Structure 1
Amino acid sequence: MTEDTVPEGPNRLRRAKADVEEGHPAHIHHHNNVLMTATDLTGAETICKVSGGMVTKGGSDSGGQFASTRAAERMAEMLAEKEFNQVIVKYRGAGGNRSHSAPGATSAIRALTRAGVSITRIEDVTPVATDGTKSKGGRRGRRV
């Protein structure tokens, strides 16, 4: 079998998957501030790092949608300077029981896409509580 032919059987999918170039993870941590970090695939080497406080003046504005959009645009510029064009987005929210996702995470992902960065995969790596303190409302929930 030559290199140009597509293999037959169950190994053909593995071969095709191995030819796809993987991106570099872009970690988006979000609660009161937007923290965006682009690393290599192992996570040991940091390529660039941007936060919402670096792009806004007000301290309370650093966790909003505007700050996350501006931070994503700046990260896209830094990645373009270093000639990276593919990323894997790993989003991390607040975590715990009954937690809501932060408002600026989706706008940051949209801004990365608009800036020309190709997103290979989006993963939600928000920590989920397996056990712990009793949730508000008790076992049967709030009764009205």
Structure 2
Amino acid sequence: MATRQQSRQQAASAAARRRKGKRTVSEGIAHIRATFNNTTITITDPKGNVVAWASAGSAGFKGSRKGTPFAAQVAAERAARMAIDMGMRSVAVRMKGPGAGRESAVRALGAAGFQITSIRDVTPIPHNGCRPPKKRRV
């Protein structure tokens, strides 16, 4: 009984060691989701597994400052630093959303040392889907 439990624990610890090993990924995809309120940058490997991510909120910005281009730039630099530590060198950029941080996030990824292979806009466009929110009366 005890030997079976010990062998299970050894197998679990071996699996944990394998999982925690530092992955090296040379190329990946940077998904930039820029909304009016926040900007999220997720860097994945070509299969779609997340390598690194950052957002304006996780970079320390609060409230309306999260939607600014500078906040998107800081978030992109943080995500890029994490991905470069994993050995990533080139990224294909996929942007989504109408936010102010789109271009500044792409510039920050390039300045961080990534070779940008392509930039695609993958913003979903409705074919007359949901009713939009009512116009604001200020």
TM-score (norm 2): 0.71
Deviations 1:69-94 (A, max 9, x none): 0011111211111110111110001x
Q: Which protein is richer in helix relative to its size? A: 2
Contact between 1:23 and 1:120, CA under 8 Å: does it hold in 2?
Answer: no
The equivalent position to 1:120 in structure 2, one of 114, 117, 122, is 117
Matches of residues 1-144 of structure 1 in structure 2 within 5 Å?
A: 23-31=27-35, 32-43=37-48, 45-93=49-97, 101-132=98-129
**Equivalent position SS for 1:48:** strand
- Say if 1:131 and 1:84 are closer, same or farther in 2 by CA, change over 3 A: same
Kindly state the Cα deviation for residue 133 of structure 1 after the two structures are TM-superposed.
Answer: 5.6
Deviations 1:15-73 (A, max 9, x none): xxxxxxx8311101111111111111121x11011011011332221121111000111
Which ranges of structure 1 fall in alignment gaps of 5 or more residues?
1-21, 94-100, 136-144
RMSD in angstroms over aligned alpha carbons? 2.0
Residues matched between the structures, number: 107
Percent identity among equivalent residues?
39
- Could you list the runs of 4 or more consecutive aligned residues of structure 1 that deviate by over 6 angstroms after TM superposition? none
Contact between 2:39 and 2:99, CA under 8 Å: does it hold in 1?
Answer: no
Structure 2: distance between partners of 1:68 and 1:57: 10
